[in-house]
Amino acid sequence: MLAWILLLTIVAAGFALVRALWPAPWRWSPADPIRVALAPAAGLGLASLLFYVVRIVGGMPPIAAIG
């Protein structure tokens, strides 16, 4: 259950990121299906970047975070 909530949170963050970078009216627009398609990729990229930054700030060397 927690994994589904985390996955939905990542996709929602991706949709918010895509919507912020590609502004449109608040109502439904023809570009929204493209935003929905880009949301999972953007969310996973954002989560990966956040994970990497947290590992670096936490004191783990970069090569260990990549490995």
Exposure string over 20-34, b if 16+ CB within 10 A, otherwise e: eeeeeeeeeeeebee
Contact of 42 with 17, CB cutoff 8 Å: yes
Task: Using the predicted structure, report yes or no on whether residue 62 has a pLDDT greater than 80.
Answer: no
pLDDT digits (tens, 9 = 90+) for 21-53: 887 777 887 888 888 898 899 999 988 888 888
Whether pLDDT at 13 is above 80: yes
